[in-house]
Amino acid sequence: MAMTKKQAVYFCTGCGIGEALDIQALVKVATGEFKIQDVKEHPFLCSPEGVDLIKKDIEAGVNTVTIAACSERVCYGVFDFGPSVIVERITLRERVAWVQEPGDEDTNMMAEDYVRMGLTHAKAAELPEPFVVENPSKTILVVGGGLTGMTAALEGAKAGYDVVLVEKGAALGGWAGSVYKLPPLAEPYTEPEQNSVPTLTKAIDDNPKIKVYTAAAMESISGGPGVFEAKIKLNGDTANARVGAIVLATGAKPYDPKKLGYLGFGKPNVVTHADVEEMAKNGKLKDVKRVAFIQCAGSRDQEHLPYCSAACCVESLKQAAYLKEFNPDAQAYIFYKDIRATGKYEYFYKAVQQTGAVFVKTEIPGVQVNEDGGKLAVEADDIILGEKVTIGDLDLVVLANGMESTASFGEEVVLESEEEAAAAKEDEPAAPPDQIIKSNLLNLAYRQGPEMPALKYGFPDSHFICFPYETRRTGIYAAGAVRATMQVPTAIEDGTGAVLKAIQCVEAVARGEAVHPRAGDISYPEFNMNRCTQCKRCTEECPFGAINEDEKGNPLPERTRCRRCGTCMGACPERIISFKDYSVPMIGGMGKAIEVPEEDEEKPRILIFACENDAVPALDMAGISRMKYSAWVRVIPLRCLGSLNLVWISDAMSGGFDGVMLLGCRHGDDYQCHFIKGSELAEIRLSKVSETLDRLGLESERCRMHQISIMDYYRIPKLIEEFVEKIDELGPNPMKGF
Amino acid sequence: MTAALEAAEVGYEVFIVEKNPYLGGRVAQMHHYFPKLCPPNCGLEINFKRLRRNPRIKFFTCAEVEKISGRKGDFDVDVKVSPRFVKPECTACGECVEACPAERLNDFNYGLDKTKAIYLPHPFAFPMKYLIDRGACADSCSKCVEACKYNAVDLNMSPETVNLKVGAIVYATGWKPYDAGKISYYGFGRHKNVLTNVMLERLAVPNGPTEGRIERPSDGKEPETIAFVQCAGSRDENHQAYCSQICCLATLKHITYIREKNPNAKIYVFYIDIRALGKYEDFYTKVAQDENVVFIKGKVGEITEDPATGDLTLETEDQGAGKTVTQTVNMVVLATGMAPSTLEARIPSELAALDAGGFVISSVSETGIGGAGCARKPMEVSATVRDATGAALKAIQATVGGGE
């Protein structure tokens, strides 16, 4: 329900704003052009007296407050007046007073435009109301019952949540369940640890909050966070579960030893880590005396697995310890490139060294495994001794054969429908599709494919160092060796962290809030379906696969999958997608509110659309650093450049702007866009508008995009200056005045 | 911050007690993260935004936990808040800095430059509020008081104690670089051009003390030859017996800083093992392809300085060649590892347990007090974030009493 607005505007004149700007002229914009009666100024608005001034007006009925002062990044808490008051901030300090010549005519024109833009937005914005699903489920589904999944299930249940745990095998445990012992997990980190899987299994069996399905797999998952419908395939039967969020913990598979013939696999007594675990469990290690371990068997090898499998060094140390346990006379030889016993595992490495194990540094492809009269011999170049060594009379050669994610097996899904294939023929630039591998783990009933998008080597990992649980499928969190190769303690930590994210997701959904990175946001996109032309751009471009389609091609947004970035809003050529506080007309209106001087005034205007995650803070930092830049620019912050709608650019160009600049996050392999594809999509859209501009006889150079990070703030004045020079070169926009 | 934010976004009330005058910790001092080579301030910015919009988090800066009593689910914590001498009314306008006549060594830049006695801890400081290092002030000076239009400076501010009632306590107190001065044979502190890896971060950052120029402290010249000494104080019974986990990748990252700025620079890395786990291997592969980078397996024994040139000679046993070799370079970077902050600043509670190295080993879900991130064991940034996320869950378990 739209509220009746009662607007007020407050100008702060502190921190140099009053000295730099003609505040009376700004007041006149508010009272004259926008007919707002409540307009006040204060020399120190963020002081208790200043805030009281605003509070009194709110008590008297003001419900839309525009604060023309400093950046909300710097001064945030004091201007929070609760959920029923719309607060619009105009950043006069960092974006005008501190970056422009004080008292200059152009400086004031800039400030006046920012007042117009802010008031236009404040006038149009509505208070968002949360989208709350009926009876949201807070149950967590954990797919995969290995160490990571068992940990996730148990930790989630301990926090009070119901858990459904689905395991493909006949019993819980996964890979960890199959080993004799685990590597050390606690001080003093010197001996293998009793396998905790039986204890964990019992704890899970005894926990009434956990429902376990073994010999089970996911048949399908539809819906979204809070309202997932999971079908679980059992032996000849199907179980249904309504769940709120999902942890994907299906683990890894050992690298196929059949591919390791070059290291002797196939010869008698050349075995893998898994074989040694079996031998240990069956007591068969007591007759084994001389054993060679070959590390990086398939890992760190461009011909096989280019990555390091992370666990194998510690696993071999553990198995070397087994040898001594069963036979004190046993001798281990470990052929390695680097012993990666990181952190406290250094203690374990040292302990195994002290038992007499011999370590030979060598290059792994290059090690020869030969049969030696019923025994085996390993020949290698010892880098430390600088000579060839041969270790013979070996009972066993163990290949430390690494791991591959269970998500990496399967055919790649091709999503292109016939129409899309036809569109592709027109050579329209498009963002590369997500790589979806049909690994049969989740079987999502999503228009965007049945599994999590894969990153390099098929791992459904996060691309963010700071946000390792960032996910491209909202409410589904990958954990453990399915996500990245890892050691045992890391898998336990990962299962714990992932289930917290799942819990956080179900709680956020119950409150009607977004999850990371817009956690707490209650606005969501609404689709005006009357005008939809079934072009499918929104479904295709949503980075999170939040939109399904009906058979006619109408979008069916799954609201709780939405991350509120607005990429769909930017994609839609019919402009039917809007948020209560963010829409195509609202942002477009801000651009239109800017006064564009006539050509003969020789005051060009450049509109900058800047991503609020990195580019806007960078602009703030340029301001805080008192850098000076051109007075011709006006900045509109966007949720993400992915929400950039082309109509804003064409409106700007036909409205007489001389140039448009986009500032967004880095894209490509090392993307930094918090919504994954937003900045990339914006760049693609920009390339399309360039063609339109060319056709209109406007130079495509009038629009450009820069990828910047927050740390590039010191480059901003230069980037703007270069663009201003280009615009000068091109001359004024001939559309001015039309 | 991650532990706090993750718990708060579930719906729990959280307090952050931070010793520094700003949030963000050690990563705020880094130029890039490996292997993406992206700026930490980008992720910090998102976290500050999460924090700003979350009413369930309160934080204290310049604050330390002084006393803990009670038990899991019901703790009573005394927090000592040291005075900033600048009140919350500070608008960060910066006029006080212009007026301030006194200087102090800039600890944020590891002493590589100076700030005024009244200062902003660093350009991205959150909260963006100034503070005063009173030890650096002249006795009767009050120029900043006069300069502040907002009456935000209060030179008579005194420490305060805040009492908090909480259900669980997570120590996410991070690490300090191992004191390189303790490795006397490497000459840190005596030889000007022996730096540590964390100092190199500050030299590389564009808003750092050299505006991003990697230069020798002795003469400001750009070094042409640089040696990295791995495991400087780590994996060493005489110093820290454990492996600090991050230093290999940090060095690989530092090589990219140098090589990007100087196409002629020649780099020598003295190492025991290069520990680039998982997909980090790709980063190692990429750096190792650089022909100007030489990896030498061996532990450096001693570093001597040529007083005339400031150049340094490293003596090491090249295990590959099986003989003692020397290498003379313009600058040496010691890949010093991490010492947990809890080694020195012990946790004032018997419910917290530490290992010999000072790392926290008690669990939040068991005793109510535990560690997260590098307070628990050495780990890299993404691992600390995962661990802190898990710690948030353990804290919730302790709070709701569901953990039994």
CATH number of domain containing A177:
3.50.50.60
| Exposure of A393 in the CB half-sphere (CA atoms within 13 A) | 4
DSSP category for residue A481: G
Query: Of the residues B314, B336, B358, which one is the last residue of a structural domain?
Result: B336
Average pLDDT over residues A120-144: 96
- ipTM for the assembly: 0.96
Residues B41, A339: C-beta atoms closer than 8 Å: no
| pLDDT at res. B325 | 86
Judged by a CB distance cut-off of 8 A, whether residue A663 touches chain B is: no
| pLDDT at res. A424 | 55
Give me the percent of chain A exceeding a pLDDT of 70: 98
* Domain identity same for B323 and B191: yes
Q: In what order do the strands lie in the sheet with A703-707?
A: A633-638, A606-611, A659-664, A703-707
pLDDT confidence tier of residue A669, bands split at 50, 70 and 90: confident
* Domain identity same for B239 and B312: yes
Residues B297, A485: C-beta atoms closer than 8 Å: no
CA distances (Å), origin B348, targets B1, B110, B257, B391: 21, 28, 41, 20
Q: Burial letters for A440-464: b for 16+ Cβ neighbours within 10 Å, e otherwise?
A: bbbbbebbbbbbbbbbebbbbbbbb
* Domain identity same for A228 and A346: no
Judged by a CB distance cut-off of 8 A, whether residue A70 touches chain B is: yes
User: Is B283:B252 a contact under the CB 8 Å cutoff?
Assistant: yes
* Domain identity same for B262 and B164: no
| Structural domain total, chain A | 5
* Domain identity same for A328 and A298: yes
Judged by a CB distance cut-off of 8 A, whether residue B323 touches chain A is: no
Tokens 């800083």 belong to residue: B257
Tokens 């560690």 belong to residue: B371
| pLDDT at res. B321 | 63
* Domain identity same for B197 and B250: yes
For B188-232, write each residue's pLDDT tens digit. 999 999 999 999 999 999 999 999 999 999 999 999 999 999 999
DSSP category for residue B13: -
- Residue A113 phi/psi, 5° resolution? -65, -40
Judged by a CB distance cut-off of 8 A, whether residue A344 touches chain B is: yes
| pLDDT at res. B322 | 65
- Report the alpha-carbon distance of residue A733 to residue A702 in Å, rounded: 9
- For residue A154, give both structure tokens: 């148990």
Element of type H or E holding B392: helix B381-400
- Residue A231 phi/psi, 5° resolution? -105, 125
Give the chain B residue nearest A625 (alpha carbons): B123
Chain B window 197-226: which residues touch A at a Cβ cutoff of 8 Å? 205-207
CATH number of the structural domain spanning residue B237: 3.50.50.60
Residues B285, A306: C-beta atoms closer than 8 Å: yes
| pLDDT at res. B404 | 42
* Domain identity same for A612 and A735: yes
Average pLDDT over residues B61-69: 98
Q: How far is B172 from chain A (nearest CA, A)?
A: 15
Judged by a CB distance cut-off of 8 A, whether residue B59 touches chain A is: no
Residue A264 lies in a domain: no
Residues A465, B235: C-beta atoms closer than 8 Å: no
Question: At residue A397, does pLDDT exceed 90?
Answer: yes
CA-closest candidate to residue A473, choices A495, A494, A455: A455
* Domain identity same for B165 and B208: no
DSSP category for residue A415: -
| Structural domain total, chain B | 2
CA-closest candidate to residue A27, choices A120, A116, A125, A121: A116
- From B38, B273, B282, residue closest to A338, measured CB to CB: B273
pLDDT confidence tier of residue A431, bands split at 50, 70 and 90: confident
Q: Report chain B's mean pLDDT, rounded to a whole number.
A: 96
Average pLDDT over residues A518-532: 96
* Domain identity same for B189 and B284: yes
Judged by a CB distance cut-off of 8 A, whether residue A210 touches chain B is: no
Task: Give the mutation candidate from B36, B210, B283 for the A interface (greatest A CB count, under 10 A).
Answer: B36
Question: At residue B185, does pLDDT exceed 70?
Answer: yes
Question: At residue A385, does pLDDT exceed 90?
Answer: no
Query: A584-592 and A105-124 are packed helices; what angle lies between their axes, rounded to 10 degrees?
Result: 150
Rg (CA), chain A: 31
- Report the alpha-carbon distance of residue B399 to residue A652 in Å, rounded: 54
Residues B123, A614: C-beta atoms closer than 8 Å: no
- Report the alpha-carbon distance of residue A633 to residue A618 in Å, rounded: 15
Q: Please give the single-letter amino acid code of residue A456.
A: K
Residue A548 lies in a domain: yes
Query: Of the residues B293, B310, B336, which one is the last residue of a structural domain?
Result: B336
* Domain identity same for B343 and B282: no
Chain A window 560-599: which residues touch B at a Cβ cutoff of 8 Å? none
* ∠ CA A90-A94-A96, rounded to 5°: 75
Beta bridge partners of A606: A633, A659
Residue A520 lies in a domain: no
Residue A419 lies in a domain: no
- From A344, A346, A614, residue closest to B45, measured CB to CB: A614
| pLDDT at res. B402 | 41
- From B54, B245, B381, residue closest to A465, measured CB to CB: B381
User: Is A596:A605 a contact under the CB 8 Å cutoff?
Assistant: yes
CA distances (Å), origin A114, targets A223, A591, B56, B353: 42, 10, 32, 56
Query: Of the residues B336, B356, B371, which one is the last residue of a structural domain?
Result: B336
* Domain identity same for B24 and B167: yes
Question: At residue A433, does pLDDT exceed 90?
Answer: no
* Domain identity same for A300 and A324: yes
Residues B9, A672: C-beta atoms closer than 8 Å: no
For B316-346, write each residue's pLDDT tens digit. 976 656 678 899 999 999 999 999 999 999 9
Residue A572 lies in a domain: no
CA dihedral B183, B188, B193, B199 (to 10 degrees): 100
* Domain identity same for A320 and A343: yes
* Domain identity same for A57 and A160: no
From chain A, pick out residues whose CB is under 8 angstroms from the CB of B386. 468-469, 490, 493-494, 497
Average pLDDT over residues B42-58: 96
Residues A292, A293, A296, A297, CA torsion sign: positive
| pLDDT at res. A2 | 61
Question: At residue A419, does pLDDT exceed 60?
Answer: no
Average pLDDT over residues B289-295: 97
* Domain identity same for A369 and A443: no
Q: Report chain A's mean pLDDT, rounded to a whole number.
A: 95
Question: At residue A737, does pLDDT exceed 90?
Answer: no
* Domain identity same for A504 and A552: no
Residues in chain A: 738
Which domain, by its residues, includes B193? 179-336
Rg (CA), chain B: 23
| pLDDT at res. A688 | 87
Judged by a CB distance cut-off of 8 A, whether residue B309 touches chain A is: no
- Report the alpha-carbon distance of residue A316 to residue A314 in Å, rounded: 5
From chain B, pick out residues whose CB is under 8 angstroms from the CB of A384. 297, 319-320, 322
- Report the alpha-carbon distance of residue A517 to residue A515 in Å, rounded: 6
Chain A window 129-158: which residues touch B at a Cβ cutoff of 8 Å? 155-156, 158
Residue A424 lies in a domain: no
CA-closest candidate to residue B318, choices B272, B279, B362: B272
The verdict on pTM exceeding 0.90 is yes
* Domain identity same for A725 and A595: yes
Residue B76 lies in a domain: yes
Residues B42, A497: C-beta atoms closer than 8 Å: no
User: Is B373:B246 a contact under the CB 8 Å cutoff?
Assistant: no
* Domain identity same for B284 and B364: no
* Domain identity same for B361 and B308: no
Task: Give the mutation candidate from A486, A487, A496 for the B interface (greatest B CB count, under 10 A).
Answer: A496
DSSP category for residue A31: I
CA-closest candidate to residue A73, choices A629, A645, A621: A621
Question: At residue B403, does pLDDT exceed 50?
Answer: no
* Domain identity same for A500 and A443: yes
Q: How far is A15 from chain B (nearest CA, A)?
A: 6
Which domain, by its residues, includes A627? 583-738
Beta bridge partners of B228: B269, B333
* Domain identity same for A119 and A2: yes
Residues A344, B377: C-beta atoms closer than 8 Å: yes
- From A16, A77, A714, residue closest to B206, measured CB to CB: A714
CA-closest candidate to residue B106, choices B98, B118, B114, B97: B114
Residue B108 lies in a domain: no
Residue A570 lies in a domain: no
Question: At residue A428, does pLDDT exceed 80?
Answer: no
- Report the alpha-carbon distance of residue A690 to residue A700 in Å, rounded: 5
Judged by a CB distance cut-off of 8 A, whether residue A710 touches chain B is: yes
CATH number of the structural domain spanning residue A67: 3.40.50
User: Is A15:A70 a contact under the CB 8 Å cutoff?
Assistant: yes
* Domain identity same for B229 and B318: yes
Q: Please give the single-letter amino acid code of residue A703.
A: C
Judged by a CB distance cut-off of 8 A, whether residue A504 touches chain B is: yes
For A567-614, write each residue's pLDDT tens digit. 999 999 999 999 999 999 999 999 999 999 999 999 999 999 999 999
- Report the alpha-carbon distance of residue A584 to residue A607 in Å, rounded: 16
How many inter-chain contacts (A to B, CB under 8 Å) are there? 248
* Domain identity same for B247 and B259: yes
* Terminal alpha carbon distance of chain B: 27
Judged by a CB distance cut-off of 8 A, whether residue A374 touches chain B is: no
Residue A708 lies in a domain: yes
Question: At residue A425, does pLDDT exceed 70?
Answer: no
Task: Give the mutation candidate from B271, B393, B397, B404 for the A interface (greatest A CB count, under 10 A).
Answer: B393
A693 or B158, higher pLDDT: B158
